[in-house]
Structure 1
Amino acid sequence: MSVEFKLPDVGEGVAEGEIVQWLVEPGDAVSEDQAVAEVETDKAVVEVPSPVDGTVKELRAETGEVVPVGEVIIVFETEGEARSASGRATGEETEPGAAEDVEGEPDAAEGDEETATSQTTTNGRVFAAPSARRLARELGVDIGAVEGTGPGGRVTEQDVRAAAETPEEPSEDGTEPATAAGAETEGAGGAPEAEGAPGAGEPAAAGEAVETAPGGGRGGEPAGRDRTLATPATRRAADEAGVDIDDVPATEQRDGEAFVTAEAVREYAQAQQAAQAADAEALAAAAPANTGREGVAAGEEERIPYRGVRRTIGEQMEQSAYTAPHVTHHDSVDVTPLVEARAELKERAADRGVSLSYLPFVIKAVVAALKEYPILNSQLDEANEEIVQKGYYNVGVATATEAGLMVPVVQNADRKPLLQVASEANELAQKARDRSIAREEMQGGTFTITNFGAIGGEYATPIINYPETAILGLGAIKERPWVVNGEVEARHVMTLSLSIDHRVIDGAEAAQFTNTLKEYLANPTLLLLE
């Protein structure tokens, strides 16, 4: 039977979408929830999943074509009783609260930018976005057992991660549950470990009892141990790779002591190299992405469609510029102690699988300053004529992408330690650049940071990420002559550009906030008191 699938309505008033690319071709076999296309709306690029198991019969839209919501974009061929794209048999009554047939109006959760599959119904299906399903498969989580906290009970990526971090209850016979087949486990350094049984790279000695580390996988033994068992060959491999064997996640235990294999050493070393390489990327996070376009021929013109994410970014900038009266306060600060602190901690962070740039220090310093000057962590509610000061600190990080400037948000930055802030900021920036970021990961910001210094800039007049009331621009850290105790020295200096909504924030408050921020950046040890 043929099943026609229409471009779903993803809410937020989205009326059309551009087919970025097809992930399948006519004749391809597909399974339910398998991504079949990437579609760009004016909010983000989302994956569209197949609603059925079957075969692709026909593609009704070309790559690059802008398709109205509700228009058929693909036709599937299925076996057995004809079913609608929402998964119900033809003529079957809709359960209360179930997703509507795509032949009618899709029941997308309002505000959801990813294409929802369906809500949980009597046929056991789950209301979850494709990215959440993909993450569940990667983490070995049964998505059917995850309680959704999104709109309409939708399972989000955060729900999947929370389920993965929640230890399973022991079975009735008292045994620990096994790790899901094919799931990756995470070592103490935060790097994914290889699948398979512990100790796969080095067999146990004949007749020697081997006890698997708690948890059944790597990561049961914390890094930085006082004592580690390993063969001479493994220790030699660790020395050659330049890693501390006591920091390598243990693969098993022998006689109650952590035991590390040569394979674990190699994987750990590779993870550290990858983390160090990522540090270079972090420094260029705000650099313009290479669009891959060739230059325009002499005397010619090139017309690039102004739509999708690029148009949305432009409209947001326009609204901010013409709504909030901007004033920008410029200053500079000696951050030599910050440079030294980051250099000292960088290697330790890499040992834990985290690329440590200056950004997480700035985020923590900004949060500390916002607590003293909460007027900068606010929003103007024009409809009710109220200034809303926020008691939570969700810091946006402006990131340059091929589609334009996106602002992923580090949620509750005040409640997270430095390395967690660094890890989340790196992950969100990468997801923004490869356009896999979910819309909810760019919402809820209360203050934004933009790092134009990554490409060598010093000062700017950044546009506020409306409806926030302030944005901080970071200039490049450069060695400059600086007076210290009456003597001129070469010091590392960072420039700051703080734009404020002058309807809400006075110039004096902007200056006081900046002075407090400078104090934290010049003395990063003060952040230990926060």
Structure 2
Amino acid sequence: MVREFKLPDVGEGVAEGEIVSWLVEEGDTVTEDQAVAEVETDKAIVEVPSPVDGTVREIIPEEGEVVAVGSVIITFDVEGEPVEEGQTEGEARRAAESDAGTAAEADSPGEAEQATTQGDATEETVAEEVSTGEGRVFAAPSARRVARELGVDIAAVDGSGPSGRVTEQDVRRAAESADTEGESGELDVSSPMDGSASTGGPEMTEGPVDSGAPSPGSPAGGAGGSPSPVESADRDRTLAAPATRRVAEEQGVDLNAVPATEQRDGEAFVTSEAVMQYAEAQRQAQQSQAETAAQTPAGERVERVQYKGVRKTIGDAMSRSKYTAPHVTHHDTAVVDALVETRERLKPRADERGIRLTYMPFVMKAVVASLKQHPKLNAELDEEAGEILRKNYYNVGVATATDAGLMVPVVDDVDGKGLLQISSEVNELVQKARDRSISRDELQGSTFSVTNFGAIGGEYATPILNYPEAAILGIGELKQRPVVEDGEVVAKHTLPISLTIDHRIVDGADAAAFANTFIEYVENPELLLLE
């Protein structure tokens, strides 16, 4: 029995995911819950587990492809169930098509052409059959792609790879064999006047193709028993099998521009292999031109990087936040000598328990204590319902810079946890975010966020809201700065803060009041003992 497995919805709102890597190959035996692929969705890379015990039949998308949630990405032969039933019908159909092809060769050229047309009509069905796992076909994704390009029924191709796996070369050999069979029927003749020749290929001078690519008729590009081209491009007429003409159309190649392999009845004859080699030579020439252009001074100053994956997700979120909520940022500074002394006293105790104590747990506890006094900032606006949702729980997101971009791990129920527990959870979540092992659930559900841009320098900023939250607190670099105290300028440890609010539901006065309360807590950390 064939079991299809679709890309699951691994989180609310996810519509697609990128296949980062396959952890199995076709023909591998897998067990239920064994990871078969790594998929990047939204801000995390997640492992996709097998739903069954069985054997991998077909891997559909290639690594790097973006697929929609609900799309079939892999099929399995389930252990203990028959897997050959689907073959019987497929083999019978292929046998019938083979008989029809033989009859076409014996009949008139018009009937042979009709048979070719009928074969084209079944191509989509065969492709669907292979992609959905009906029939036992083991083929690499690249082989399936080439089969579609060349119009080859991959189910009829004999595989030369391990366990009968169909390779790209198997498909190309099958396409060439189909061309040879087509010679018994009617050969199409191309001319500039019949409207059938593509104009995608450039004109070439007399003589063999000389671009570093193998010449038609010499698969290895060197000496061998294959004939050399006897005529070059820019002809008026070209003999070719219908399948070859289809290949030329798909590749955007003018048959009359392809160096011929031989002469037949005074006309130039071209095979699909010659078309593919000519197309490859053109691609290599274009690539060479592009590389030459890239070596110019202007090319060296520009690098094109795809805008996708995590980077695009972040960009979309930032745009939605900035263009939905009117942002206002309030700036202030706290003098935190007492906080520095408190941390220094507690740090050895934390080290004894294997926990690295930073300032972030103090900041998070001060944030929660302030939110309890100023609940307008622990809220969001439900625009559809026309309601402000003020939340009575306190999940704090901690913005984290990673190689893949900005992520916001969330520590739940901060009000019910001590400094050491918060510190341990923050350290663990930040590390998981940076090595991309964090789960989607650990990136959701925050009611308020903190971003510590001071960790890499800087005093003030204008943080963008982690929408739909109503506020985000930015922390600048904690260091000694000049402070006026009793008319004297002295060095004190100061902590700059930047509080951004959604001005639709939070006023500037509310932001200032929250900031004052927060500053009171971090300047007098012993007050946190009362919370």
- Same fold per superposition (TM over 0.5): yes
Shift of 1:4: 3.9
Is 1:22 the counterpart of 2:18? The answer is no
Aligned to 2:414: 413
Q: Give the superposition deviation at 1:516.
A: 1.1
Q: What TM-score comes out, normalization by structure 1 length?
A: 0.57
Question: 1:502 and 1:9, CA in 2 relative to 1: closer, same or farther beyond 3 A?
Answer: closer
C-alpha distance in 2 between matches for 1:353 and 1:297: 53
Equivalent pair of 1:4/1:76 in contact (CA under 8 Å): yes
5 Å-filtered alignment, 1:316-331, equals 316-331=317-332
1:383 maps onto 2:349 in alignment: no
- 2:74 aligned partner: 74
Partner residue, 1:204:
none
What is the RMSD of the two structures over their aligned residues, measured on CA atoms?
Answer: 2.4
Letter paired with 1:31: T
Matched, 1:53 2:53: yes
Distance, in Å, in 2 between the alignment partners of 1:11 and 1:450 is: 24
How many Å separate the matches in 1 of 2:480 and 2:43? 40
| Counterpart residue type for residue 332 of structure 1 | T
1:379–1:468 Cα contact (<8 Å) kept: yes
What corresponds to 2:443 in structure 1? 442
Cα deviation for residue 30 of structure 1 reads 2.2
Aligned to 2:223: none
Q: Give 1:472's aligned residue.
A: 473
Deviation of 1:453 (Å): 0.3
1:388 to 1:71, Cα distance in 2 relative to 1, 3 A: closer
SS class of match (1:329) = strand
- Return closer, same or farther for 1:55/1:384 CA change in 2, 3 Å cut-off: closer
Q: Distance between the aligned counterparts of 2:473 and 2:53, measured in 1?
A: 49
- The residue identity in structure 2 corresponding to 1:494 is L
How many Å separate the matches in 2 of 1:319 and 1:65? 26
Count of aligned pairs: 320
> Aligned AA for 1:303?
R
SS at match of 2:300: coil
Point out where structure 1 has 5 or more consecutive residues left out of the alignment: 84-102, 105-295
The structure-2 alpha-carbon separation of the partners of 1:478 and 1:43, relative to structure 1 and needing over 3 Å to count, comes to closer
1:475 shift after superposition: 0.2
1:497, distance to aligned residue in structure 2 (A): 0.4
Is the 1:30–1:50 Cα contact (8 Å) retained in structure 2? yes
Output the CA distance in 2 between the equivalents of 1:348 and 1:82.
63
State the distance in 2 between where 1:510 and 1:330 align: 10
CA contact (8 A) 2:43 2:407 kept: no
SS in 2 for 1:73: strand
Q: Which whole-Å CA distance do the structure 1 matches of 2:82 and 2:309 have between them?
A: 35
Note if contact 1:3-1:82 (Cα within 8 Å) is conserved in structure 2. Answer: no
Structure richer in helix, relative to its length:
2
Partner of 2:433: 432
User: Gapped runs of 5+ residues in structure 2?
Assistant: 84-131, 134-296
1:366 aligns with 2:370: no
Counterpart-to-counterpart distance in 2, 1:71 and 1:302: 33
Q: Kindly provide the CA deviation profile for residues 161-215 of structure 1, in whole angstroms up to 9, marking residues without a partner as x.
A: xxxxxxxxxxxxxxxxxxxxxxxxxxxxxxxxxxxxxxxxxxxxxxxxxxxxxxx
**1:333 correspondence with 2:345:** no
Deviation at 1:41, TM superposition (A): 2.5
- Report how far residue 60 of structure 1 moved: 2.5
- TM-score, structure 2 as length reference: 0.57
What CA distance in whole angstroms lies between the structure 2 residues aligned with 1:68 and 1:445? 27
Separation of aligned partners in 1, 2:298 and 2:526: 54
C-alpha deviation, 1:389, in angstroms = 1.8
Q: Following TM superposition, by how much is the alpha carbon of 1:27 offset from its aligned partner in structure 2, in angstroms?
A: 4.4
Give the greater-gyration-radius structure (CA). 2
Match of 1:299?
A: 300
SS of structure 1 residue aligned to 2:305: coil
Distance 2:35 2:298 in 1: 37
Give the corresponding residue for 1:218. none
1:349 alignment counterpart: 350
| Identity %, equivalent residues | 68
Could you tell me whether the CA contact under 8 Å between 1:316 and 1:466 is conserved in 2? yes
Q: How does 1:69-218 map to 2 (within 5 A)?
A: 69-82=69-82
Q: Which amino acid aligns with 2:451?
A: T
Aligned residue for 1:319, secondary structure, equals helix
Counterpart for residue 34 of structure 1: 34
